[in-house]
Amino acid sequence: MHSLQFSVPLLPTSRFKRHSVRCASDRQQLFNRIAPVYDNLNDLLSLGQHRIWKRMAVSWSGAKTGDSLLDLCCGSGDLTFLMSEKAGADGKVIGLDFSKEQLSIASSRQYLLSKACYNNIEWVEGDALDLPFSNGYFDAITMGYGLRNVVDKRRAMQEMFRVLKPGSRVSILDFNKSMQPFTALFQGRNWRNWP
């Protein structure tokens, strides 16, 4: 593994922190490439059901007003925005991802949606295997469609529980490997050369 540094153009009202990112570079490049169509892929793979599942994941996290919340592998920010609505103006939500392109889209959405509660969101480029937060910092953590993409699932889980307050919850949403030919085609596809 090696360390990468990225800079992302910021929108006027966005807050965006950059940290050294250590990850499998091919996965990071993949998510940077598919960022513009990522939400469409989720629609296709879940037949649109991912919106309902994301609301359920946030509900199961136990997030509430005033909490400090983390959305790992936040992608374009769907779960992050839902967590922000739970935390309210007195809470704090961090959306962390290793893809600068995904974070750029999330930050743009925050700016365009311009909902008051979304001011509590901070976007952080970072590695789920080496979280830049202190022990016991978060009241709840969500991770949507990210665990299958980390290079070391055990380490990712250890990091989540390290930064989670005792007695708090992690809510993970993901797809299983499908045996259905249509879905398996997309899950097994080598996206390295796409688009």
Q: Is the peptide bond before 36 cis (omega within 30 degrees of 0)?
A: no
The mean of the pLDDT values for the chain is 77
CATH code for the structural domain at 49-173: 3.40.50.150
For 136: left if phi > 0, alpha if psi spans -120 to 50, otherwise beta; the answer is left
Which of these ranges, 113-117, 185-189, 191-195, has the smallest mean pLDDT?
191-195
**Pairwise pLDDT comparison (51 vs 83), residue with the higher score:** 83
Q: Do residues 104 and 78 touch, judged by C-beta distance below 8 A?
A: no
- Boundaries of every domain in the chain: 49-173
Using one digit for the tens of pLDDT, what is the confidence trace for 100-110?
A: 888 998 999 89
Cα 149 to Cα 85: distance, rounded to the nearest angstrom = 27
Angle at 127 between CA 2 and CA 17, to 5 degrees: 105
Confidence class for position 3, pLDDT limits 50, 70, 90:
very low
